[in-house]
Chain A
Amino acid sequence: MASITLKNLKKVYDNQVLAVSDFSMEIQDQEFIVLVGPSGCGKSTILRMIAGLEEISGGELYIGRQKMNDVPPRDRDIAMVFQNYALYPHMTAYKNMAFGLENRKLPKEQIDAKVREAARILDIEDLLDRKPKAMSGGQRQRVALGRAMVREPAVFLLDEPLSNLDAKLRTSMRSEIIKLHQRLGTTFVYVTHDQIEAMTMGDRIVVMKDGVIQQIGTPAEVYHRPANLFVAGFIGTPPMNFLPAVLEEDAAGYCLRLGGSALSISAAGSPLSQECLARYRGCRITLGIRPDQLTLGEEGLPAQVDVAEALGGETYLYLECCGVRLTAKLPGTVTMPPGATVHIQIPPQQLHFFDQESGRNLLCPSAASAAAVISEPPSELLAEPQSPGPKKRSLLAKAKAFARTAHREKTTD
């Protein structure tokens, strides 16, 4: 068992691609941390740097109190579960699980006891004599977990371990892993691009994009107080609705002008501070509202039903409102024909307010959590790479724009 400290970690690949920039965080002992983000955001690179499979270009990595930058993987006391399970195909499940212990020259009886104990916990005792190709995806996954378990490592690293499983198995394996974490009481670092996994499994979630941390927080914090537009859009199913609006002052206090309609928010009842309201008066902002916060009523913003998806327990209404597409998550009893006009009610206290340029959530306390992690635009992001491809160029341009905006925001604050 050990804590992990990552200090300004940076990874630049040989082709000058910056995968991770200035990544700093403290992972507590026995904590279940989930790194989540879209493909190519650098989450697996972080995990591989912790494992020692990827060289660290800059910064420091500590496991416990020991600096691990130059320690080979086998001496880091970690175990990793790979996305493709990485089971040795020529070995039986038993041999796969025993291999790590044999390398450590443990007595045979001890190896046998550990393997059988892990197999009992994971309910794979019947599979011990089978080779991976004779197992299903779920069984392979269990063997991979067993292989990691028997070593009793200080840290468990899991790299999208459920992504190759079908939806049903994924759900059951999710709870298995949570139970395993509770049982073992070891530090878990889990990488996924599936925000449901992140929300359900992690003690804390690290949301990443383009190699930069967007937000670190508990699932509830990340869901209810997303640091920026990216986090708000990434976390939550269906994703948060965004509407462009102008904050205006009126007789009753303030109102948000959405196309031809206006949504009144009284100064006292507004989730935004007086200072913020005054600062953004007359400015364009982006409103965010979760689909489950939208309701239908006699009054409200007029919207047209595009599609209604009845899922039994709930209905998703895809609406056209103020020139934007919105999703409403309603009770399963609601039925609407396509083309019908409805009135949606937006509770102002459930609204999120985002700066239109930086994407920062204006409700976040001082927006510090976001600004702190995207503080300085990394010089690598601003410098031209040697010869990036068209895709990388586009990503780099986006990263540059984001970094510059974030930097500008911070300096104006």
Chain B
Amino acid sequence: MRLHSRSQKKYLSRGALTVLAAVFAITFLLPTVLTITNSFMSQTELAANYGPVFDSLKGGGNTYISDQVTLKFIPDMVSFSQYETVLFKSPEYLLKFWNSVILVVPIVFGQVAVAALAAYSFMRYRGRAREILFFVYIILMLMPYQVMLVPNYLIADWTGLLDTRWSIILPGIFAPFSVFLLTKFMRRIPASLIEAAKLDGASEWRIFTRICLPQCRGALCSIAILVFIDYWNMVEQPIILLSDPEKQPLSVYLSTINAGEVGIAFAVAVIYMIPSLLIFLRGEEYLVEGITHSGSVKG
């Protein structure tokens, strides 16, 4: 009898947890699903659903969500008109997309390269200076980016890089988090491998490129994914460091799409999500490997 009640309790608690998890999952997924399905609605259908919201905005009021909003997930008729507008009729969206690409791609490649070199140094050279420097890296990593915005702004201004893409790219390349993650990963490489390579006559550069990097492929990929997602979604940096709207990335531009273009906003948001999604799906395995190994290794 007791056994029966125990198993009943187990099933009940498991059921409750499943329901809770489902609620969370739906809460997280709902906006994404809404964005994707609504991007296939025609302008008329969107106006019918969200008209009151935008009316209130047009009237100068501050209310964004009104009582009359009808959340509709399934379009009456699938329409590609929003995508047509974004891709073929309004080049500024693609221009912003391109702006995002030319900001993020150098940051990703630059940060991975710098992190790999720095992590290799942290792995290979021992001593008090290394420990102090690594501690500084950890402190920097713990600081939120917003704290560094003002110094970044002042330095960019002083160096004359303000309002250029370099004011975002350069601080992005030298970010401490990747160095930390990769150092932890590289410290897992057995010292005997490096020693074997040394005895095999390999130079330091060859040990780095031929022995170390191939073994950190997972960590490098996971860093690239995290950095891409992070910088693809950046908002504060371009707003503060790039005053020229022509250079603003899509992440910033999305918020400036006005009320009358809500259909386009949905389509742009979907296009905006695609690179992150593809990169995540392609590198999910590496991401998990990189993070789990970096977290579980001894320092």
Q: Which A residues have a C-beta under 8 Å from some C-beta of B?
A: 51-53, 72-74, 78-80, 82-84, 86-90, 99-100, 103-104, 147, 151
Contact = CB atoms under 8 A, between A and B. Distances in A.
A82 B192 CA distance: 7
Given A89-B215, A90-B214, A90-B215, A74 B199 contact: yes
Nearest to A153: B199
Given A79-B199, A103-B202, A103-B203, 13 more contacts: A51-B195, A52-B198, A53-B195, A53-B199, A73-B195, A74-B201, A80-B195, A82-B196, A86-B192, A86-B195, A99-B197, A99-B202, A99-B210
B136 interface: no
A90 B202 CA distance: 16
A53 B198 CA distance: 9
B76 interface: no
B36 to A, nearest CB: 39
Contact of A78 (B199, B203, B211, B215): B199
B206 A73 contact: no
A100 B200 contact: yes
B200 A103 contact: yes
Contacts of A100: 199-201
B61 interface: no
B66 to A, nearest CB: 59
A132 to B, nearest CB: 11
Interface residues of B, number: 17
A52 B196 CA distance: 11
B226 to A, nearest CB: 23
B193 interface: yes
29 contacts: A52-B198, A53-B199, A72-B198, A73-B195, A73-B198, A74-B200, A74-B201, A74-B202, A78-B199, A79-B199, A80-B195, A80-B199, A82-B192, A82-B195, A82-B196, A83-B192, A86-B193, A90-B214, A99-B197, A99-B200, A99-B210, A100-B200, A103-B200, A103-B201, A103-B202, A103-B203, A103-B206, A147-B200, A151-B200
B201 A84 contact: no
Contacts of B192: 82-84, 86
B190 A104 contact: no
Contacts of A90: 214-215
A209 to B, nearest CB: 25
A38 to B, nearest CB: 21
A86 B201 contact: no
Contacts of A78: 199
Contacts of A89: 215
Contacts of A73: 195, 198-199
Interface in B211-228: 211, 214-215
Nearest to A89: B215
A51 B214 contact: no
A86 B192 CA distance: 6
B201 A80 contact: no
Interface in B173-211: 190, 192-193, 195-203, 206, 210-211
Rank and list the top 7 A-B pairs by shortest CB-CB distance, nearest first.
Answer: A100-B200, A103-B201, A86-B192, A86-B196, A74-B201, A90-B214, A82-B192
B294 to A, nearest CB: 18
B206 A86 contact: no
B200 to A, nearest CB: 4
A79 B201 CA distance: 10
A88 B211 contact: yes
Contacts of A80: 195-196, 199
Interface string B261-286: 00000000000000000000000000
Nearest to A97: B200
Given A80-B196, A99-B210, A86 B202 contact: no
Nearest to A83: B192
Nearest to A95: B210
Interface string B43-60: 000000000000000000
Interface in B7-38: none
Contacts of B210: 99
A80 B198 CA distance: 10
Nearest to A103: B201
Contacts of A147: 196, 200
Nearest to B207: A103
Contacts of A83: 192
Contacts of B201: 74, 100, 103-104
A73 to B, nearest CB: 5
Contacts of B198: 52-53, 72-74
A390 B198 CA distance: 35
Nearest to B192: A86
Contacts of B203: 103
Interface centre among A52, A72, A99 (most CB of B within 10 A): A99
Contacts of B193: 86, 88
A359 B196 CA distance: 40
A74 B190 CA distance: 19
Contact of A86 (B190, B214, B215): B190
Interface centre among B190, B201, B202 (most CB of A within 10 A): B201
A84 B199 CA distance: 15
A17 to B, nearest CB: 16
Contacts of B206: 103
A150 to B, nearest CB: 10
Contacts of B195: 51, 53, 73, 80, 82, 86
A388 B59 CA distance: 79
Contacts of A88: 193, 196-197, 211
B183 to A, nearest CB: 20
Interface in B123-165: none
Contact of B190 (A52, A84, A103, A151): A84
Nearest to B206: A103
Interface string B233-267: 00000000000000000000000000000000000
A83 B191 CA distance: 12
Contacts of A53: 195, 198-199
Interface centre among B192, B203, B211, B214 (most CB of A within 10 A): B192
A87 to B, nearest CB: 8
